[in-house]
């Protein structure tokens, strides 16, 4: 699947779950079904994505990048990831994780 289609499909599934969440909390059966359906769809999407990475992309990268190049890429990634991810700082992500951990459906 093209990355742009996968991303738009993922956003649509998250939107479906978000729209159903409040009614699902209230016990609405249709909303609970929509929430479950969206969750299962998102899990399938992530599993397919991970499978493609593990079975196609990572082996391809292993053949194309030598050990020193891999080491340098890892260092560069760590430097960037320590500052931000998806436009959010590490501190913002920790705060978000704490808020989500306190949430319950």
pLDDT tens digit string along 64-86?
999 999 999 999 988 887 777 77
pLDDT of 2 above 60 = yes
Asked whether residue 40 falls in the same domain as residue 80, the answer is no
Same domain, 52 and 23: yes
Distance, CA of 73 to chain centre: 21
pLDDT in tens, 38-47: 999 999 999 9
Q: What's 85's DSSP letter?
A: E
Residues 53 and 3 reside in one and the same domain: yes
* This prediction's pTM: 0.63
Range of the domain at 105: 66-105
Are 5 and 53 found together in one domain? yes
Phi-psi region of 66 (alpha: psi -120 to 50; beta: other; left: phi over 0): beta
């Amino acid at each position: 699947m093209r990355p742009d289609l996968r991303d738009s499909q993922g956003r649509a599934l998250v939107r479906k779950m978000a729209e159903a969440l409040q009614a699902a909390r209230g016990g609405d059966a249709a909303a609970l079904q929509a929430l479950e359906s969206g969750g299962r769809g998102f899990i399938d999407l992530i599993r397919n994505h991970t499978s493609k990475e593990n079975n196609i992309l990572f082996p391809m990268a292993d053949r194309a990048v030598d050990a020193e190049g891999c080491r340098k890429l890892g260092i560069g990634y760590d430097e960037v990831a320590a500052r931000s991810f998806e436009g959010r700082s590490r501190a913002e992500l920790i705060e978000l994780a704490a808020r989500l951990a306190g949430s319950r459906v």
